[in-house]
Structure 1
Amino acid sequence: MKRLSFIILLTIATKFTFAQFPGGGGAAVITGKITGTVIDSLTKKPVDYATVSLSRSTQTKSTSGALADEKGSFRIDNIKPGKYRITISFIGYSPKIIDPVETTPSKLDFNLGNIILSPNSKALAEVTVIGETPVIENKIDRIVYNAEKDVTSAGGNATDILRKVPLLSVDYEGNVSLRGSSNVRVLINGKPSGVMAGNMADALKAIPADQIKNVEVITSPSAKYDAEGTSGIINIITKKNNLEGISGSVNSSIGTRQNNANLNLNIKKGRFGFSSNFGGNYSWPAASILDFNSSGSGFVNAQSGKNTTERLAGNGSFGLDYDFNTYNSISSTLKFSRFSFGTDGTNNATSQIGSNLSSYIRTTDNEFGANNYDWNNDFTHKFKKEGQQYSLAAQYTRGSTNNDYTTNFSTDPLNEVANNDGVNEEITFQADYTHPFKKVIWEVGAKSILRDINSDSRAVKVNPSNNNTTPIVGRNNIYNYSQDVAAAYSTFAFTLAKKYGFKIGGRYEYTDIKGSSTPALAQAPNFANNYGVFVPSAVVSKSFKNFQTVKLSYNKRIQRPSLFYLNPFRNVADSLQQSQGNPTLKPEISHNFELGYSTFVKTTIINASVFYRRTNGIIESIVTPVTENNRTISLQSYNNIGANNSFGFNFFGSVNPVKILTLRTNLNINSYKINVDNNTINANPTQTDKIYLLYNAFVSASVNLPKGFVIESFVILNSPRRTFQGENAGFNMWITGFKKEIFDKKGSLGLTLIDPFNERKNFSSSLTGANFTQTTNFSIPFRSVGVNFSWRFGKLKAGAPSKKRGVTNDDLKQGDQGGGTTTGGGIGGN
C-alpha cells in the first residue's frame, strides 16, 4: 500500500515537472518588482492606502497596480523588463506621475524611494479614510476571526481565542466543538501538526494567543480538503510579516493565572525570505477541588480531595522560502513544540461493595509531556496563464507523548508506578494542479499519508523499602498501529449569469489499517482492515443587490480516530476513575446540509444559517462500571455509539451604532438526538430517547477612543455539553481588556481582566447508565488579572503577498478530554 501510494504520486510529480522545463514548454521569463513609499509633503508622514497604478510608458491604460500599506509602502510584482508609467493618487492629494520607470534584464527591481504627494488645495477640509480590518469577517465559505485585532486576546492562549470565534464552543477543559460537534479538524497555517494527534485540548493551551493572526472556520470544505472533520475545519493562522527588510515583534504578559512570552523575527530580501518564532507559556500552580460520587447495582463510591496542576509549554519555528522568478518558488519550514504538565494530589476515598466497606487515602504524582516537530517542503510552479499552477509538497511529522505516574494507597504498602510512551509518525506526499478555462476553474490532485503509531505501556508495583518491582499482569505491552491513506480529488468552480456561483467536486479516499499488540491483549486484538469512501461536495451561491448572498451547500465527511482514542494504555492513577482507548474504533461518516444568508449594509454585517447533520457511527466516550480487586471503578473508553441527527441555527451580527463603538453578537443553537445501535453499550433508555437543545453565544463591545486607547469586553455563554450518557458542565466567562498604543503605534500596553467577581468556579457533570449514576464537581481558580506588552521593530518596505503552500493533513479525529475523568487543570487566561 505504501509503495503503491508513493508510485502514484511520483508519476504525477514527474509528469507535471517535465511539462514545464526544456522540452516541455520553454523557459520561464524572469521578472522583477517596482517598490516605493508615499510621503505627505507637509507632515512628512506616510500616506497609507494610496492607490498606485502601473501602465506602459506614455500610455494611461492601467495594466497592474497596488495599494500602499499603513506605512505608505507599496510593491508591484511580476514586472517584465521595459519602460513603465507610475501614477500615485489619493483622496485630497494631487496625483503624482512618474514616467518613465525602466527595468532591464540586468536590473529587474526598481526602487522609487520616497514619493512626495502634495495636498490638493481644493480638497475637503477633512477626509477620513478607514482601512482597519474588522475583528470578524464573513466570507462565502468561511468565517474569519482576526485575533490580532482583539484587545482581550493578549496574554492568553489558543483556547482563549477559540472561545470568541463564531460557531465554536469551548468547554472548561478546553475541548472544542463546532456547531455542537467535537468532530472538528484543527490545522495550523493550513497544515496538520503531530501534537494535535494526542490531546487537542492540551495542545491548544500550549499556543500563546500573541502568535495567532486569525482563525478560519470552514463549515463547507470542498473536495480539495481532506475528508476528515465531520463538522468542519478550524485553521489557526499564525503571524508572519511579509514586508521586505528586517522586522520582528516582542510580546509578553504577566498575570495571576499564566504568563506568556513570544518573539518573532523576519528577514525579507529580494526573493529570499526567512521567518522565525519562539514562544513560551507558563501557568502558575492551580489547585482544583474534586468531589466524585458513583453508585449502582451493589456498589457505592465516593472521593474528595485537592489536585495541584502546573503547566509549561514552549514552541518555535524556522522558515525559508525563495522565489526563483515569477513562476517557480520553493519553501521549507520546521516547527517544534514541547508541552508538559504535572499534577500532584491527595484524595480521600471510600468504596463499598455489598457490605464490604473500605476507606483509604490516595496520593498521586502524574507527569505528562508531549514533543512534536513538523518539517514541510514544497515547490510551486505558476504558468504564464493567470491562475494556472501546480504544486508538489512533502511533510514529515513526529509527535511523541510520555505519561508517567506514581500512586500510593494508605492501605497498600506498595506504590504503583506506570508509564506510557506514545509515538505518532507521518510521511505525506501531495500534488495539486489548477487550470482556469474561460469560465471554469478546474482543480485536481492526489495525496498519500503513511502513518505509524506506537504505544509502549509499563506498569509495576514497587516496594518503597527496597525498590523491588513486580510487573502488573495484563498491563505491560507494546501496541503498533499503521494507517495508510491514498486519495485523489477533482473540483470545478464556475459562475453563471454573473450572480450564481457553483463549486462542485468529489474525492475518493482509500484507507488500509493494521493493529497488533505484543503480547496479545483482549482489549487490543490484532486486526487488519481496509475500506474506500467517495466524498462529494457542492456549494451553490446567489448574489443579490446590497451585498446580499444566499448559499446552499452539501458535503460528506469522514472522521478517523487518532492516537488519543486508539491508545489501549490504561491510566489507573485514580483508583475510582480510569481511562483507556479503544483500538477497534471505526470511522464516523457524516452528511452535512447548510442554507446560509449574509448581507452587508453600511456598518452592519449579518450572517445567518440553518443546517442539518447526520452522523453514523459517532464516536463518544463511554463510562462503564467494572469490578476488579474487590473494588468497582468507573472505566472511561470510547465506542461507535450509533447515529446522531442534529438540526441547528446560527446567527452572527455586527453593527457600529456610532463611529467609536462596535457591537457584535453570535448565537448557535443545535439539537442532540442519539440513536444507540449497540446493545452492549451501557446506556439509559430514558435519556437516549430525548431531543436536547444545546447553545453557545457571546456578546461583545469595543470602544476606540482618541490617542490609541481601546476598551473591549466579551461575555461568553455555553450550555452543558451532552453525551449519550449524560451531560458535562456548562461554561461562561466575562473578559474585559484595555489597550493603549505607544511608541508611535509600534507598541502597546494592555490590561486584561477575567471574571473579576468569581475567585473560583464550580463545574459539575452527571452521567447515567442502565445500572449506575455518577456525578463529578470540580472547583477551580478562575479570576485573573494580567498586564501585557507588545512592540514591533524593523524598517520595512512593502512585500509580495504570501503564497499558500504545503501539505494539509486534516484526516484524523483528534482527542479531547471527553465526558469522563479528568485530573484538573486550568482555564486559559492570565
Structure 2
Amino acid sequence: MKHFYIFIALFCFALTANAQFGVGGGGPTTTGRISGTVIDSITKKPMDYTTVGLYRSGGKSPITGVLTDDKGNFKLDNVKPGNYKLVISFIGYPSKTIEPVVTTASKPDNKLGTVFISPGAKALKEVNVVGQAPLIENRIDKIVYNAEKDLTAAGGNATDVLQKVPMVAVDLNGNVSIRGDQNVRVLINGKPSGATSASLSDVLKTIPADQIKSIEVVTSPSAKYDAEGSAGIINIITKQKNVSGISGSVSGGIGTRQNNGNANINYNHNRLSLSANVGGNMTWPQTSLTSSDQDFNYNDPATHFSQSSNGTSRVKRHGIIGTASAGYDFNAFNNLRTSIRLNQGGFDPNSHSTTTQTYYYDRTLDTAYTSNTLGHNSFGGFDWNLDYTHKFKKEGEELDLSTQWSHSKIVTDYTSVFSSVFDNQKNNINGINNEYTFQADYTLPVSKLLKIEAGGKNIIRRISSTSDYFVPSTGDDFVFDPNNSNLYKYNQTVFAGYTVLTFTLKKGYSILAGARVENTDIHGEPTSAVQSLQPFDQNYTTYIPSLTLQKQLSATQTIKLSYSKRITRPSLQFLNPFVNKSNITAQTVGNPALSPEVSQTVELGYNTFIKSSVINLSAYYKHTGGLIEGLATPIKVSVDGVDQDGTITTFRNIGVNNSFGASFFGSINPIKILTIRGSINAYTYKPTPSGSFQGQQTQTNTYVQYNAFLSASVTLPSGFIAESFAVQNSARRTIQGSNPSFSIFGVGVKKQFMEKRASIGINAIEPFSTYKNFNSNIKTPTFNQSSKFAFPFRSFGVTFSYSFGKLSFSNPQQPKKGINNDDLKQGDQGAQGAPTGGGR
C-alpha cells in the first residue's frame, strides 16, 4: 500500500499547487455569441454537420465548437470578449480559417453572415471516409473504426463489431488478433478493465454494440505505450458524449440469437460534466454440435488406440455494464475527473457427449460411455479511475496524474457425470484479481519543431485462485479431494519509464523517436497437497526503442516507415506448475521457466486520399524470439487399474518465427449513394523450433495466413440505408496443426426519421445457413486429433434507437490520457479457468 500513499501525497500536492498555476485576476463577465451560416461555394447548398471550432488568436487548441445544423447555421454561445479565430472543417474540404473574429464588452455578438467553403486539392491531415458519416479514419498512428455509423452492428455485441475492423480478426471463441497475432492488448476508453483480465472473450460478448462509439487499432505503438502486446493495441471507445445541457440516447435490439439494450444520459453545465451509461446483453440458449477423433499410434501396432466423441453443447449468456463519470474544471489550467465502471456477466453451459474407444491390439477392451456436464460461470467487478490534469500557461505543456483500481472476480462451477470408465467429478473455482496503477505523463512543446513527452508508471497485480475439487462419496454426494485441489497466488509488479521526441521538420518530414524501459518482477506460490510445487520468481528488464519516419509526399499522399519492439509476458496460468487433472485425458500444466516473447517489426506504409476515396497499403517484416506455443504430448493415465490414453498440454518457448506480410485497406464511392470498402491482410508463418522442439514439429511448410473484409452501403431516399458485409479468416497455424478458419456474412436495412434522431432497422446474419463449422487439427509424431464444432450462427433481428439533446461540445478541458495498461498476454485467464467438460 505504500505506493498508494505516495500517489495520494503527490495528488494532494498537485491540488494545493492550484493557487500557483491557476488563472489569476478578474475580468468582464459579459458574454456574447458568434454565429453564421456555412455554404458550399459551388453548389450553393448549406453544409450540415460541418465542424466549427473556436480558438484564441494564435492558439492551437480549440476553446469550444459546434456542428452546423441541416441549414448550415452555427451558434457559439457564452463567448467572453476577446480576439478569436474560427476554423471550419468538413471531410474532403480544406479547412477554412477566419481571423480575427472580435467581440467586445460593448458589442458582445458577432454575426459573420454567410461563410463559403469550397473543395480543394489540400486534404486534411487525418483522412475521413464516407463523407458526412465516416466509417473509417486513417490517422498517422492508428486506424479508427466508427462503429456508431455501422447499422449492421446494431443489436450485436463487441465481438460482432471487432470482426469488421480492418486488420482485426476474432475467432469462434472470441480470441482477438491483429494481423493474425493474438498477443493483443484490449483497452476500454484507453484503460484496461479488471474484467478483461479475468476473461476477455466473455466480457466482449457482454458489451452491447450500441454502447460502442469507435474502435482504434494501433499496429506500431510508440515507446509511450506499455511494451506488452506484440501485435498491437485495440482501444474500444464507448459512447460518452461531451455536450452542452442534457442529452442522451436509448437503443436496443431483439433477435433470434441475442438481445440487447443501451441507454446513456449526459449533463454539462459550465465547468461540471456528468454522464451515466448502462447496457445489457442476453442470448437465447444456443445448441452447438461437437465431434472429436483421436488416434494414438506410438509407431507400434501393439499400442494402437483410438477414440471418437460426438455430442451437443447448450449455452446461454447474459451481461450488464454500467458507467458513471464526473469531471470538473477548476479553471482553464486544472481539471479533475473520476469514473467507475461496473460489470457483471455469466454463462451456463450444458453439454452431453458419447465417446467410443477402440483398442486395435485387443478389441475385447473396446468400450463406450456418455458424459453430461452442467456448469455455471460468472464474472464481475469494477474499474475506478481518478485523473488530474494540469495545463501550464505555455500552449501544449501539460502534466497528467492518474490512478486506477481494477477489481474482478470470476467463479466457475461444473459437475460432470459419466456412465462408466471415469468417476464423476465436481470442481468449484474462485479467482480474485486486484490491480493498482499509478501513472504520471508530462508533455512539453519546446518549439514548433520539437515536442517532448515523458512519464513513469507502476502497475501492481495481486491475483489469487482457489480450485476445490470433489469426488463421489455415497449416492449423489461429493467429498473434497485434496489431491486434485490447489491454491495459487500470483504477484506481478511492473515499473516503467519512457521518453518520446516528436520532430516536425521542413518539406513535410516528421520523426517520432522514443525509448522505454520496463522492469517486471513476478512471484508465484502454487500450493498442492500431493504435487511437490515450489514458489518461483522471475525478474527481467526490457528496453523498448521505437522510431517512426513520415514524409508528406503531397497534399493527398503520405508515406511512413516505422520500427517497434514489443513483448508478451507469460502470466498466471502460463506459469502455474500445477497439473490440472480435472479432465483426466486432457490435462494441462503451466511452465514457471517460461520467458517473455519478444517481437520486432519494421513496417512501410503508404496512404492516399482521392476525393472521398482512401487507399492504405503497408508491407512489414516481423521477427519473434522466444515464440510461445502450447504443445500437446501423449500420456498414459490409469483409471481403476486400466491404462487410458490422453494428452498433457503445456506452454513452451519453442524458437523463433520470421514473418513477412502486407495489408491493404480501401474505400471508394463509385457513385454518390454507394460506398464500397474492403481490407485484406496476409502474412507468412514458418517457425524455426530449437532443440528438442524440432521433434515436435509436424507443420514444416511456409504457410500464408490471411484475414479479409468487404462491405457495401447504399444511402437511399426517404432516410433509408442498406448495408451488407462479409468476413473471411484463414486457419491459424501452430507447429503441431491448425486452428479453425472463420467466415461470416450479414445484411441490414435502417430507416431514419425525426431529423435522424430516431431509427428502426432489421438485420440478418448468415441467413442461408443455420450452423457455421469450425475444424481444427493437432498432429504429433505419435498422436493425431481432429475436432469439429458447429455453432448456430444464423440470426434475424430488429433494432431501434432514439437520441435527444444538443449536438455541441463545450468542455475542452477533459483530460486526454489517464491510465492505459497495454500489457499482459491476451487469452490468459486472470483467475484459473475450468475445462469445457469432463474426461473422454
TM > 0.5 fold call = yes
Helix, strand or coil: the match of 1:198? Answer: helix
In structure 1, stretches of 5+ residues that fail to align are 105-109, 121-128, 825-830
Matching of residue 812 in structure 1 with residue 824 in structure 2? yes
Deviation at 1:571, TM superposition (A): 6.1
Structure 2: 5+ residue runs without aligned partners? 40-45, 91-97, 117-128
Percentage identity across paired residues of the two chains:
41
Q: What is the match of residue 595 of structure 1?
A: 604
Measure, in 1, the Cα distance between the counterparts of 2:707 and 2:368.
Answer: 41
* Structure 1 position 462 matched with structure 2 position 463: no
SS of structure 2 residue aligned to 1:199: helix
Q: 1:524 to 1:750 in 2, by over 3 A?
A: farther
Residues 721 and 727 in structure 1, CA contact (< 8 A), matched pair in contact too: yes
- Alpha-carbon distance between aligned partners in 2 of 1:33 and 1:392, rounded to the nearest angstrom: 34
Shift of 1:641: 2.4
Q: Give the superposition deviation at 1:601.
A: 1.2
User: Is structure 2 residue 241 aligned with structure 1 residue 241?
Assistant: yes
RMSD: 3.5
Answering whether residue 768 of structure 2 is matched by residue 761 of structure 1, we say no
Is this contact kept in 2: 1:524–1:583, CA < 8 A?
no
- Does the 8 A contact of 1:30 with 1:326 survive in 2? no
Q: 1:239 and 1:90, CA in 2 relative to 1: closer, same or farther beyond 3 A?
A: closer
3-state DSSP of counterpart to 2:756: coil
How far did residue 281 of structure 1 move?
A: 0.7
Deviation at 1:28, TM superposition (A): 4.9
Deviation readout 1:591-615 (Å, 9 max, x if unpaired): 1111101111112211000111111
Q: Does 1:442 align with 2:435?
A: no
User: How far 1:352 sits from its partner (Å)?
Assistant: 4.6
How big is the shift at 1:232? 0.7
Q: Which residue of 1 aligns with 2:93?
A: none
Distance 1:607 1:593, change over 3 A: same
Q: 1:742-779, CA deviations, whole angstroms, 9 ceiling, x for partnerless residues?
A: 22211111111111111112111111012100000011
Distance 2:374 2:686 in 1: 39
Contact 1:382 1:390 in 2 (8 A): yes
AA aligned to 2:50 is: Y
Q: Tell me how far 1:6 sits from its aligned partner.
A: 6.7
In 2, distance between residues paired with 1:443 and 1:388? 10
* 1:374/1:397 contact within 8 Å kept: yes
Which residue is equivalent to 1:529? 538
SS at match of 1:806: coil
Aligned to 1:69: 67
Q: What do residues 407-452 of structure 1 show as CA deviations (whole Å, max 9, x unaligned)?
A: 1111269531111111221111000101111121001111001111
Query: Is 1:483 equivalent to 2:492 in the alignment?
Result: yes
Which piece of structure 1 moves more, 406-415 or 26-35?
Answer: 26-35
Comparing 599-608 with 353-362, greater Cα deviation is found at 353-362
Are the equivalent residues in 1 in contact too, given 2:59–2:395 (CA < 8 A)?
no
**Residue 222 of structure 2: SS of its match in structure 1?**
coil
Q: Return the offset for 1:578.
A: 4.6
Look up the match of 1:639.
Answer: 652
Q: Does 1:778 align with 2:771?
A: no
Equivalent in the alignment of 1:135: 135
Residues 29 and 300 (structure 1), Cα distance of their counterparts in 2 relative to 1, 3 Å cut:
farther
2:508 aligns with 499
Distance, in Å, in 1 between the alignment partners of 2:679 and 2:252 is 30
Match in the other structure for 2:668: 655
Whole-Å separation in 2 of the counterparts to 1:568 and 1:37: 67
The residue number in structure 2 matching 1:272 is 272
Structure 1 residues 155 and 571 mapped into 2: Cα distance closer, same or farther (>3 Å)? Answer: farther
Cα pair distance change 1:88/1:671, threshold 3 Å: closer
User: 1:220 matched to which residue of 2?
Assistant: 220
1:69 is matched by which residue type in structure 2? L
Instruction: Report matched runs for 1:563-642 at 5 Å.
Output: 563=572, 565-566=574-575, 576-629=585-638, 630-642=643-655
CA distance in 2, matches of 1:598, 1:813: 31
What whole-Å deviation, never above 9, does each CA across 1:78-130 have from its counterpart, x for those lacking one?
x7x64568989999xxx9999744399xxxxx8x79x795799xxxxxxxx99
Q: Is residue 338 from structure 1 mapped to residue 348 from structure 2 by the alignment?
A: no
1:518-557 equivalences under 5 Å are 518-519=527-528, 522=531, 525-557=534-566
Q: Is the contact between residue 575 and residue 592 of structure 2 (CA under 8 Å) also seen in structure 1?
A: yes
**Is the CA contact (8 Å cut-off) linking 1:196 and 1:815 kept in structure 2?**
no
Q: Tell me if 1:361 matches 2:388.
A: no
Pick the aligned partner of 2:804 from 793, 799, 802: 793
- 2:200 is matched with 200
Are the aligned partners of 1:761 and 1:779 in contact in 2 as well (CA < 8 Å)? Answer: yes
Q: Where in structure 2 are the equivalents of 1:166-181 lying within 5 Å? A: 166-181=166-181
The answer for the alignment partner of 1:729 in structure 2 is: 740
Change in CA separation of 1:28 and 1:806 when aligned onto 2, cut-off 3 Å: farther
| Superposed displacement of residue 636, structure 1 | 3.6
Deviation readout 1:376-413 (Å, 9 max, x if unpaired): 10100001111101010111011211111101111269
Q: 1:654-687 CA distances to partner (integer Å, 9 max, x unpaired)?
A: 1111111111110100001112225268723x41
TM (normalized to structure 1)? Answer: 0.88
Say whether 1:803 aligns with 2:812.
Answer: no
Deviations 1:515-552 (A, max 9, x none): 11223775853111211111100000001124111101
1:667 is aligned to 680
CA deviations 1:235-272 (Å, max 9, x no partner) are 11111111111111111101011111111111111111
Q: 1:303 aligns with which of 309, 316, 325?
A: 309
Alignment partners' CA distance in 2, 1:526 and 1:782: 45
Q: Which residue number corresponds to residue 188 of structure 1?
A: 188
CA contact (8 A) 1:581 1:638 kept: yes
The alignment covers a number of residue pairs equal to: 790
* Deviations 1:259-291 (CA, angstroms, capped at 9, x unpaired): 111111111111111111111111111111111
Contact 2:585 2:637 in 1 (8 A): no
Are 1:739 and 2:750 an aligned pair?
yes
- Cα 1:21–1:154 change in 2 (3 A) is closer
Distance 1:626 1:371 in 2: 37
User: 1:538-584, CA deviations, whole angstroms, 9 ceiling, x for partnerless residues?
Assistant: 00000112411110111111111244544567666656445454454
